[in-house]
Amino acid sequence: MKTDTIAAIATAMSNSGIGIIRISGPDAIEVADKIYRSKNNKKKLCDQKTHTIHYGYIYDGDELIDEVMVAIMKAPNSFTAEDTVEIDCHGGMLVMKKILEAVLKNGGRAAEPGEFSKRAFLNGRIDLTKAEAIMDLISSQNDYALKSSVNQLKGSIYTKIKELREKIIYEIAFIESALDDPEHISTEGYSAKLTVIVDDLIKELTEMIRTFDNGKVIKEGIHVVILGKPNAGKSSLLNKLLGEEKAIVTDIAGTTRDVLEQFINLDGIGIHLVDTAGIRETEDVVERIGVDRAKDKALDADLIIYVVDSSRELDNDDQKIIDLMADKKSIILLNKSDLNTVITMEDMKEIMKDFHEDCIILNTSMTEDKDLKELEDAMKEMFIHGKIDMNEEVTITNIRHKEALMEAKNSLQLVKQSLMDEMPEDFYSIDLMNAYGALGGIIGEEVGEDLVNEIFSKFCMGK
């Protein structure tokens, strides 16, 4: 671990009322003293008590840069558990850059992304789940995501994982002790007792894994791609969902030639909407690029909304769209239901009956001021399993956590199999230890340096 002194701008790089330059490391206060001058030029920051704030000025040599407030937090009572200084200055981009440059000239090093949080983790101030919760909190786009991140930051996952590991390590210790001292520690009846314990652990892990489907939606939102032939009503649907005219709507087929991405909040769930070019065979080079991009977006979609002009017969272009919906959750909107329709809901159900199961078909008309609640309810029904209750103790939102929980569960299932096969006790111990290690990876107690570096590299600068 690096133990030098790091510095970064901790606020957004844009003009604002206030900016913060953060310094952390063994020489943080000494570095700050080199550029800080109090009003009477007699106060030294190194002589001040921890957790105090001081008014003064920042200089780069003889050049006055800004009037500031400086906060001092001495080790170990800071976020990083190191000496930390935060300079609160005016929030102009030039001002912040000049102060940071002055810090770097006087002994600081530019921090890497997430390096402050990484030091907090390595110094034992936070576990890995809390570190990840910090980044999730910053990137939260809805109330559910915010509450989930706060719960995780408070230690909900850490507490649960510690509890599970303590149960497992107790059994490992008993088995090892019994193997070392069979004369004084009896294992009679232990297999039946361990079976009950393992069953309970598997049940708890299963419940945690089950929350991931909702957790993923809470954290990342739903990526929805709107597909259809030209002039089917895709852009009209986007505008209705947004509640404003974002997409150009005309009677001319092929008006939309590129993807248009927007974000909406649907009852606390983030929806990433992508309107695409109408899919059809075309000789127009620009339109063809738009069609190719639409197909690419469909491959990454969580949900495809297929808008069908129900006043026209389906053709080869429709079949190409249906092919894109393979293995995807999808909603088919039979649009223009106010006109003389030639495609009915029964027709569409017949076409889709052998294609895939996860598909909902609805009638609608974009020209009428119809409530979109049926569509919105269908989207939620497809992705939310049961009621989202953020008062739950734990909701898993991180794929890394889910994979580790599944690895632990698999190891415990091997223990159960060994119990059923009446294998020797040392077989139980091996798989119990694997489960213990997998859970330790979630909170960072058993994790490699490469993974730590990868996790913190995704953090924003200055955090």
The number of folded domains in the chain is: 3
Tell me the pLDDT band of 172, cut-offs 50, 70 and 90. Answer: very high
pLDDT value of position 368 = 61
Residue ending a domain, choose from 360, 383, 406: 383
Residues 437, 126: Cα–Cα separation, whole Å: 19
**Pair (312, 424) in one structural domain:** no
Q: Reading across the β-sheet that carries 84-91, which strands appear in turn?
A: 36-38, 52-60, 63-73, 84-91, 16-24, 6-9, 109-110
In percent, how much of the chain has pLDDT > 70?
A: 89
Residue ending a domain, choose from 127, 161, 190: 127
**Pair (226, 346) in one structural domain:** yes
Distance set, CA 167 to CA 155, 173, 194, 394, 396 (Å): 18, 10, 11, 18, 21
Q: Which two tokens stand for residue 112?
A: 């890497």
Q: Which two tokens stand for residue 127?
A: 């576990």
Q: Taking CA 361 as the corner, what is the angle to CA 355 and CA 367, rounded to the nearest 5 degrees?
A: 135
376 is a domain residue: yes
Q: Is the dihedral of CA 281, 283, 284, 285 positive or negative?
A: positive
Residue 102 predicted with pLDDT over 90: yes
Per-residue pLDDT reduced to its tens digit, 50-84 = 999 999 999 999 999 999 999 999 999 999 999 99
Nearest to 46 by CA among 26, 22, 66, 17: 26
**Mean pLDDT calculated for residue range 186-201:** 91
Q: Taking CA 319 as the corner, what is the angle to CA 311 and CA 257, rounded to the nearest 5 degrees?
A: 75
**Pair (169, 188) in one structural domain:** yes
Residues 83, 192: Cα–Cα separation, whole Å: 53
**Pair (409, 356) in one structural domain:** no
Residues 338, 233: Cα–Cα separation, whole Å: 13
DSSP 344: -
179 is a domain residue: yes
Residues 281, 457: Cα–Cα separation, whole Å: 43
Angle at which helices 425-443 and 156-180 pack, to 10 degrees? 160
If one compares 136 and 204, the residue with the highest pLDDT of the two is 204
Residue ending a domain, choose from 97, 127, 157: 127
**Mean pLDDT calculated for residue range 384-394:** 59
Neighbours of 180 (CB within 10 A): 9
Nearest to 99 by CA among 71, 60, 62: 60
Average pLDDT, the chain: 84
**Pair (251, 360) in one structural domain:** yes
DSSP 276: -
Residue 386 predicted with pLDDT over 60: no
Residues 157, 409: Cα–Cα separation, whole Å: 16
**Pair (159, 49) in one structural domain:** no
Specify the 3-state DSSP secondary structure of 426.
helix
CATH number at residue 365: 3.40.50.300
Listed range (149-153, 174-178, 199-203, 252-256) with the worst mean pLDDT: 252-256
Per the CB < 8 A criterion, the answer to whether 301 and 274 are in contact is yes
Residue 381 predicted with pLDDT over 90: no
Per the CB < 8 A criterion, the answer to whether 131 and 120 are in contact is yes
**Pair (288, 360) in one structural domain:** yes
Domain hosting 144: range is 140-211+394-444
**Pair (16, 75) in one structural domain:** yes
**Pair (370, 259) in one structural domain:** yes
Tell me the pLDDT band of 5, cut-offs 50, 70 and 90. Answer: very high
Tell me the pLDDT band of 42, cut-offs 50, 70 and 90. Answer: confident
**Pair (109, 199) in one structural domain:** no
Residue 239 predicted with pLDDT over 90: no
CATH number at residue 46: 3.30.1360.120
